[in-house]
């Protein structure tokens, strides 16, 4: 997506922009469109700056659209997004994307903000029986952990690469998958995160017997 001139967009008014962890924000604006859980919107603050894509993290019927993002130092958009205050204007495209076929009973594997589309699926009631595996460098980046613990109980599994000693697996999602006793190759596995995370996780799943047809992914780049 090169420029705002190529897409259909409107302006939204920011309702809230909460800092929820170091460099991590939860941005909210009123929902004025229908979407399917797993879809993205392009966001911007200035028509001269290229749009950036963000997964919707809220449910299909929620009155507000939630966007979970991390501020990248030296990034062209996220330093501006993080400064948005309630009442500020935001450029928002129509929702689009095809990461929308997540089936109930699936395994949802996310790293960092890659949790966003899975939050939308869960909050839309479309992921009954799902297992969520979330990887983060530090425990403060286990976004929405209270909601996930309460909703999924033992089907919420956390992997923390930099801190040992909590009630989580110490290591990356890839290391967790290598030794996970609960792995069932017959379940659908959906992955979301950086290209590196997605490729490495997919390789571990395949080497543990999960057929390619049972793996789907969304890459954040």
Ligand X SMILES: Cc1cc2nc3c(=O)[nH]c(=O)nc-3n(C[C@H](O)[C@H](O)[C@H](O)COP(=O)(O)OP(=O)(O)OC[C@H]3O[C@@H](n4cnc5c(N)ncnc54)[C@H](O)[C@@H]3O)c2cc1C
Query: Contact positions toward ligand X, by CB under 6 A?
Result: 40, 52-55, 68-70, 72-78, 113, 116, 218, 220-221
Contacts of 151 (CB under 8 A, 6+ apart): 122
Q: DSSP for 145-156?
A: HHHHHHHHGGGE
Which of 133, 192 has the CB closer to ligand X?
192
Distance CA 115, CA 132 (A): 9
Please report how close the Cβ of residue 23 comes to ligand X at its closest, in angstroms: 10
Please report how close the Cβ of residue 77 comes to ligand X at its closest, in angstroms: 4
Token pair for 33: 């469109």
Which of 19, 208 has the CB closer to ligand X?
19
Helix axes 116-123, 145-152, angle to 10 degrees: 50
What is the three-class DSSP state of 71?
Answer: coil
Please report how close the Cβ of residue 128 comes to ligand X at its closest, in angstroms: 23
Which of 81, 183 has the CB closer to ligand X?
81
CA 216 to chain centre: 14
Please report how close the Cβ of residue 69 comes to ligand X at its closest, in angstroms: 4
Please report how close the Cβ of residue 195 comes to ligand X at its closest, in angstroms: 10
Which of 111, 183 has the CB closer to ligand X?
111
Which of 184, 196 has the CB closer to ligand X?
196
Please report how close the Cβ of residue 208 comes to ligand X at its closest, in angstroms: 26
Which of 101, 208 has the CB closer to ligand X?
101
**Edge-to-edge, what's the strand order for the sheet holding 52-55?**
9-13, 89-93, 40-44, 52-55
Distance CA 132, CA 82 (A): 27
Please, are residues 148 and 132 in contact by the beta-carbon 8 Å criterion?
yes
Report the residue number whose CB is nearest to ligand X. Answer: 75
């Amino acid at each position: 997506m090169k420029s705002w001139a190529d897409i259909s967009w409107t302006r939204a008014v920011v309702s809230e922009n909460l800092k929820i962890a170091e460099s991590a924000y939860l941005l909210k604006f009123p929902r004025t469109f229908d979407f399917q859980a797993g879809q993205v919107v392009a966001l911007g603050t200035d028509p001269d700056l290229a749009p950036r894509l963000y997964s919707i993290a809220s449910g299909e019927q929620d009155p507000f659209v939630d966007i979970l993002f991390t501020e990248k130092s030296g990034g062209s958009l996220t330093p501006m997004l993080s400064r948005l205050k309630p009442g500020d204007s935001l450029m928002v495209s129509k929702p689009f994307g095809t990461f929308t076929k997540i089936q109930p009973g699936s395994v949802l594997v996310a790293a960092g903000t890659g949790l966003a589309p899975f939050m939308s699926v869960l909050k839309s009631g479309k992921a009954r029986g799902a297992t969520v595996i979330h990887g983060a460098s530090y425990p403060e980046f286990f976004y929405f952990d209270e909601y996930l613990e309460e909703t999924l109980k033992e089907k919420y599994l956390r992997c923390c690469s930099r801190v040992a000693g909590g009630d989580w697996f110490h290591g990356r999602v890839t290391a967790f998958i290598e030794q996970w006793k609960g792995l069932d190759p017959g379940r659908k596995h959906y992955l979301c995160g950086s290209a590196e995370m997605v490729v490495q996780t997919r390789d571990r799943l395949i080497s543990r017997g999960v057929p390619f047809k049972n793996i789907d992914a969304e890459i954040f780049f």
